[in-house]
Amino acid sequence: MIVDLYVPYRGRKDPRSEDLRSAVERVCFLGRVRPERLAEYRARHERVWPEMLAALREAGWGNYSLFLTEDGLLVGYLETRDYRAALGGMAATEVNARWQREMAPFFTELDGLLPDQGFKRVDEIFHVD
């Protein structure tokens, strides 16, 4: 027996409606955390600054998650209406500039870029709701 645990969004559009799904851009990106800094990187994300969280929400970063493997592969996922606008919104904040400067030493393969500029975006090739 399949049980539908769906609870309607009160006061907002149903996220399963076609017009909302098509308006959401799903973004996945990859990075690589230095093996010797994994524990500290995890700890930093247990206490992300409240002003950073607020800036992400205001810039349109929804359903944002980071996943980290034991060998340092970082996988990020977010949903937004416009990824370029969401990046631009964050780039315009002072808190993001501070966060990116502090996080940059944790990563390999950035070629001198800050993390939010140097991560590799992954193409979505399949999705099912």
The H helix count followed by the E strand count for the chain is 6, 5
Catalytic residues: 45
> What are the backbone angles phi and psi of residue 31, rounded to the nearest 5°?
-145, 175
Q: Decide if 87 contacts 55 (C-beta within 8 A).
A: no
Q: For tokens 């539908």, what's the residue?
A: 4
